[in-house]
Amino acid sequence: MAKVLVVYGHPAPGKSLANRTILETLKEKCPDIEILKLSEEGFAPHVEEDQKKLVNADVIVFQFPIFWYSYPALTKLWVEETFAHGFAYGSTGTALKGKKLIISCTTGSPTEAYVPGGPNGHYLKDFFYNFQQLAALCSMEYLEPVYSHGCAYIPGVMPESVKDRVIAACKAHGEKLAGVLKSL
């Protein structure tokens, strides 16, 4: 299997159900993947160390919950710092050339909210043009994103049946992603 680096951008992993389930499933199916937990670095990314991890990987997965139609601020800052000029892009920035990028994420809103004319106005994929262009600028290959809708669970507010549904959906998400990674 290709060398995989999962950049995990949940700012509060202890409170996660959806992304935690995806990561646990992924780790079970693909034990050799490396997981970089951005919450452990906070807003002071370990730039040199993490750039080495990026260089060492063939496939980079951004795993995160959708916050305001994009990745959480923690991931955004990390990208700003590590995908630097002269490293990731620019005439001498070729460190990520040829690597594959996969966006793997969860939303709170259900599938029917992500349609033209719906509450979120667009298909989720249409919010990903920035990721696609980020990959293009860094000469990376942008692969099909993997995402699951309707993954919000608030303990004590939502019924247990929602929790069970989110866990089942996110296990399936983790298995699907593992299948993709194994095929690369």
Instruction: Tell me which residues touch ligand FMN (CB under 6 A).
Output: 10, 16-19, 65-69, 106-109, 151-152
List, in sequence order, every residue forming a beta bridge with 148; answer none if it has no partner: 106
Report residue 139 CA to chain centroid gap: 19
Q: How far is the CB of 10 from ligand FMN (least distance, A)?
A: 6
Q: How far is the CB of 94 from ligand FMN (least distance, A)?
A: 34
Query: In the complex, which residue's CB is closest to ligand FMN?
Result: 108
Q: How far is the CB of 75 from ligand FMN (least distance, A)?
A: 13
Report the residue number, 3 or 176, with the smaller CB distance to ligand FMN.
176
Q: How far is the CB of 93 from ligand FMN (least distance, A)?
A: 31
Report the residue number, 96 or 103, with the smaller CB distance to ligand FMN.
103
Q: Is 46 exposed, middle or buried (0-12, 13-18, 19+ CB in 10 A)?
A: middle
What's at 127, amino acid-wise? F
Report the residue number, 93 or 110, with the smaller CB distance to ligand FMN.
110
Q: How far is the CB of 176 from ligand FMN (least distance, A)?
A: 16
Nearest-5° angle of CA 14, CA 33, CA 93?
100
CA 77 – CA 128 distance, rounded (Å) = 17
List, in sequence order, every residue forming a beta bridge with 146; answer none if it has no partner: 104
Handedness of CA 100, 88, 6, 153 (dihedral sign): negative
Report the residue number, 63 or 82, with the smaller CB distance to ligand FMN.
63
Residue 100 corresponds to which tokens in the numbers above? Answer: 């594959």
Report the residue number, 55 or 154, with the smaller CB distance to ligand FMN.
154
Are 133 and 89 spatial neighbours (Cβ–Cβ below 8 Å)?
no
